[in-house]
Amino acid sequence: MTILLADIDAYLRGRLRKRLEKVSGVTVVGESSNSTETTAMILNRNPDVAIVSSFLEGGSGLDVLRHVRQLMIPPTIIVVTDNPSLDHNNAYSAAGADFICEKVSDDRTVIDTIRRLCVTQRRVDVLASLVATPNN
């Protein structure tokens, strides 16, 4: 599973990258702090998952969501936010966020979500290989 990290805080991105790279089957394919750069990286690198902060340089996670949801097969989007208000979360849900996690010093919720997505992806890969293999 390939992942793109987008957050204005380089320390947070580095910490999250280290934790994600310990998850079997996960590869971080890029990092960004800027909304325009994040959108371009998603378009060019086609990650399976984009972990996007609600606050980015030059814009917001909402700006990124509005652009990438126009793709035929957009990545799974996990939004991390300092503002877990209902209105804020509703705006991200309406824009197409798949998951919304509160940004806290402990990244456990994000890591657990990635682990669950990895298990699901492995099941889909196994099923796809069974369907693709002719039964002789």
Question: Which domains occur in the chain, in start order?
Answer: 2-132 (3.40.50.2300)
Cβ partners under 8 Å of residue 80, min gap 6: 7, 51, 52, 53, 54, 101, 102, 103, 110
Least confident of 35-44, 97-106, 109-118, 126-135: 126-135
Q: What is the mean pLDDT of residues 84-89?
A: 81
Cβ partners under 8 Å of residue 7, min gap 6: 13, 16, 33, 51, 52, 53, 56, 80
Instruction: Report pLDDT for 74.
Output: 79
For residue 123, is pLDDT > 60? no
pTM assigned to the model: 0.79
